[in-house]
Every structure is written in C-alpha cells, then in structure tokens.
Structure 1
Amino acid sequence: MSVNKETKTLDEFLAENPNVDVTEYWRRCWGILTALKDKIAARFPHLEQHPSTFDREYYTSPNGEWEGSYKAWSGQGVEWLVNSWIGNRQASILDMNTTAFLDQQTDVPHLVIVFGTVPHLFCYCDYTPRRNLLTDINYLDKYFNDEVNDWYMKLRSNPNFHWSVSHGQYMRALNNPATQSLMGELNHANIDIFETYLHEMVDRWLGWLDQATAVPEAERTLLQQHDHTIREMCYRRDPMNKLAVKVFGEEEVARMVDLRMGSEQIKQQKRY
C-alpha cells in the first residue's frame, strides 16, 4: 500500500474515510464552478447546449449510489464548454468540472478546472497549451511568462496543500508550467483560496482571448486534430473512470466517456 500522501491512489484515500457526507462542500464547489462557467459563457453569446447532453442534466447509477449532471455547450469560439459533476455526496467521492476547449480561430490555451473530494479536497487546473512548449518559445513566453509563473508559485508553495500525483501516465503527460494538482483538508478556508485563484485564472484567460490574433486558415485543420486528440485522450485515460466502472459497468462508462469528450460534436465539426 502506498504511504506517501502525494502518490496515494483514489482508492486508498477513500478507504480511509469512505462514508463522509460532503454535500455541504459539493454545494460550495459546484457554485464556484457554475459561476466560472457563466463567466466564460458570457464571453461567447452564441453558445448552444449540445443535444447529446439534453437528457443528462441529472442522472443516477442503476443502483442509485452515484448521481451526477453533465451539460456541454458549443458554438462560435468554443467547441466544447463543459459543466459537470459525478459521485456520491454521502460517501466521500465527487468529481466536478468546468472545462473549455476552444475552436481554432485562435491558439489561446484551453482551460481545465476540476474540483474533487476523496474526501480530502482536490483541485486540478491548467491552461492546456496548444503548441509545443519545448520548441515554440514564443508561445511559452506569451502564455507561461514570469507573471503567470509567480502567480502559480504562490499557490504551489501554500503549506495548506500538497501535490497529488496522477497514476495515469497520460494525465501526467498533460502537466505544463501552469498545472496545479493539489490536495488539502476539506474546509471552507481552503476552498476560499482556490476560489480566488480560479477567478484570477479565468479573468486572465478571458483577457488573452480579447487580445488574441487569428490563426491562419491554412493551420486550423492541423490545430483541430491536435485539439481533438488531447480532448479525447484526457477523458479516455482519466483514472477516475475505473471508479465509475464499479458502479455503472464498463459498457455504460464507455458511453459516458464518449459523451464527456463530445464525440458527436467532434464528428460534426472535424475538418481532417
């Protein structure tokens, strides 16, 4: 069994405290994520909820143990804006998301924000880059500059939180200079810290969009293929899926993953 708190599995955390009622904290975190989603949606007035998510505003597992909500929007500027949660509010486990995958008019980074409880408080967030940071130094300096680095390091050094290492190789491959994957005690003070950070994160991102230059038309097909690969793999290879399989079964989780990644929207819009 793992003993280092940074590398503990979700199962190990849950085994220590399997039956904690986290409803109060779900309400708080879900409110934050919804406010962030609304802030993003206000920037893109032509978004429409994708039909594939019409019947998922609230759902439960066959045995009633898990419940959740999944809504996604698509339109000019944004291919896939997600606001979702899944878990068992009476048994410690929650996964809550606000994620924005942009279209190819610009190469501004995508935005990923995740809250979770196991029942420790978990927060993952990053600006997902759309260029190779190891070779495109101009892109690195534009979006992951000293100002962003100082802001990142301030939270990273907060003693309330420790790093949470994903056991999924692909999830670790997604790590970039803005990735936070932090865990701490489940309390409102820690949620306050994340709330401030995440609003700063979204406000900066919206500013980038206001100042962005257009990607040349000839480059957009390749950029979309890059975007779609990341979007698919981050859902298909999420270690959280194995917990859902125990409750929903493999076939249903496969359908849920297709829904979460927006496979129908990808088929409708892909240029490659």
Structure 2
Amino acid sequence: MIEQQPDLDNTAVFEHLWGMTNELRQKLDARFALHPNPSTKNLQNYSAITGEAQGSLNTFSGSEIDWLVHSWIRNPKLGFSNMHLTIWLGPQIRVPHLAYVFATVPQLFFYMDYIPRTDLYIDLEYLDRYYEPVNQTYLMLQQDSRFEPYISKNLYMRQAQSHTSLCYSCPTSDDTLTLLRTVAHEMMDRWLTWVDEAEPVAESERAALSERDLIVRRAVAERDPDNQIGVRLFGAELTDKLVRALWGGNRNRT
C-alpha cells in the first residue's frame, strides 16, 4: 500500500494518533503498576542509517501485565507511520489481551482486537462474555462505506485475529479520527472492567496459559509480513532486534 501512494506529509495525523495511544496509556498507568524493561532500553530511540526513518520502542511489565509494548516507527518522506500499544496480561486471569495498531500508509489504517486466550469454538461462555459486546461495533464498521476491511494475505495473521477484530483502512478526516478515538477508548474501558471483575485462574493452570500466551505473542511478531517494511527501512539486523522486542525475546525478568 505504501508504494502505491504518493508521498504525503502525515505529520499532523501521526501526532494525532500517537497522542491517542498516550491517552490510552494514561488509563493503563492509572490502573496498573508498570516498570520499564531494560532489555529494550537501547530501542527507545533508533533510526535508519540515512536518518529518514526513525522509531521508538518501549516495553513494560508488572504484577498483572506480563508484557506491554508501546512503540512507533515512521518515515515522514513516505507519509508512513505505524504505532503499537499491545497489552499481554499475566496468567492470573484469562481475560483476552488487548491490541491496538494505528498507521498511515499514507491512508489511515487501524487494527484493534481482544486477543483470545482459549478455544472460541468450544468455550462459548468466553465467546459470549468477551466478544458479543464488540460485535455491534464490528457490524457497524462493516456497514460503513468509509471503512474498507483489511484482509491479510498471510494465513497465520488471519488466524490470529478474532472474528470481531476491527481491521480497516479508511480516508483520513476529522470524522473518521473522532470515530476511531471513540471506539479505541470504548475498547479500553470495557477491557479494564473485565480485568477488575475477572475470576482468578487456578494455580495449576497458569503455567500452561503462560506458555500459550508466549507462543501466540512470538508467532504474531515473527510471522507478521509487514516485517519486510522494517527490513527495507532499518535493515535486517535492527529489524530482528525490533521483532524480538515485540515478543520479549531478550527480556529481563529481574
């Protein structure tokens, strides 16, 4: 999509989207005790050799959140930017993880999803409890002609999305940005309520849940076809470090 679009200065849109992720982070910081993970300290500011593409990746963890990524990359010359706010819970509860991706390619792109932690084909109580509440939003966006569903060509990336995943591209306007902010905050507020009301997972089941979470997190990071954009912007070596940081491959647990 990037190569098919003309160069466009999306600085204002980037700042708007990044500000939105910071609003969401403030709600997280008000609820959770989070600590920066030193394993990604050297990625807080990085850039391509040419200096045109830059980025920042920060990771956090705490007693309730196993791994949180808050990051951005951008190349203003291409009108391209991409930012993540992904929250991976610990195994003490089974509430879905929460993922946000916002981008300009240079058209507006977004992905918001509750990442399942069980088999939704058979765990119907989990499906009804955590996915029915967002189903109307999913259907609303499906019926809105401004929003074009984005369907990945990668099999695993489609498999990793829930059936109420909000994954679209759309024109950038005040209306679409306002709707995006509203839905993003609704997703966060609903999720925080779930966390507060969640029943604890039995101690005997937590190790298996933690292992499953890590497998999903690593596979999503490593199999993302958009990693090729990172290679072209920053080179293979730095991109590999960034991908490992997304799933916590070098994390410090002390």
Normalising by structure 1, we get a TM-score of 0.89
Which residue of 2 is the match for residue 16 of structure 1?
4
Q: Is the 8 A contact 2:20 2:181 kept in 1?
A: yes
The 2-side partners of 1:119 and 1:62 are apart by 22
Q: Is the 8 A contact 2:120 2:126 kept in 1?
A: yes
Which residue of 2 is the match for residue 40 of structure 1?
28
Deviation at 1:165?
1.2
The 2-side partners of 1:200 and 1:65 are apart by 35
Q: Is the 8 A contact 1:98 1:113 kept in 2?
A: yes
Percentage identity across aligned positions?
36
Q: Is the 8 A contact 1:79 1:103 kept in 2?
A: yes
The 2-side partners of 1:268 and 1:73 are apart by 11
Q: Which amino acid aligns with 1:68?
A: G
Q: Which amino acid aligns with 1:97?
A: H
Equivalent pairs counted in the alignment come to 254
Task: Give the unaligned 5+ runs of structure 1.
Answer: 1-12
Q: Is the 8 A contact 2:47 2:234 kept in 1?
A: no
Deviates more, 1:121-130 or 1:33-42: 33-42
Q: 2:66 aligns with which of 79, 91, 96?
A: 79
Alignment of 1:140-179 (within 5 A): 140-145=127-132, 147-179=133-165
Alignment of 1:32-181 (within 5 A): 32-45=20-33, 47-145=34-132, 147-181=133-167
Q: Which amino acid aligns with 2:80?
A: I
Q: Which amino acid aligns with 2:81?
A: L
Give the secondary structure class of the aligned counterpart of 2:186: helix
1:221 counterpart = 2:207: yes
Q: Is the 8 A contact 2:88 2:98 kept in 1?
A: yes
Q: Is the 8 A contact 1:23 1:90 kept in 2?
A: no
Q: Is the 8 A contact 2:52 2:76 kept in 1?
A: no
Deviation at 1:24?
0.6
The 2-side partners of 1:151 and 1:160 are apart by 14
Q: Which amino acid aligns with 1:112?
A: A
Deviation at 1:64?
0.9
Q: Which amino acid aligns with 1:126?
A: D
The 1-side partners of 2:197 and 2:214 are apart by 24
Pick closer, same or farther for the CA change 1:236–1:85 going to 2, 3 Å: same
Deviation at 1:37?
1.5
Deviation at 1:97?
0.9
Q: Is the 8 A contact 1:156 1:180 kept in 2?
A: no
Deviation at 1:26?
0.3
Deviation at 1:152?
2.5
Task: Name the Cα RMSD after superposition.
Answer: 1.5
1:248 counterpart = 2:234: yes
Normalising by structure 2, we get a TM-score of 0.95
Deviates more, 1:15-24 or 1:192-201: 15-24
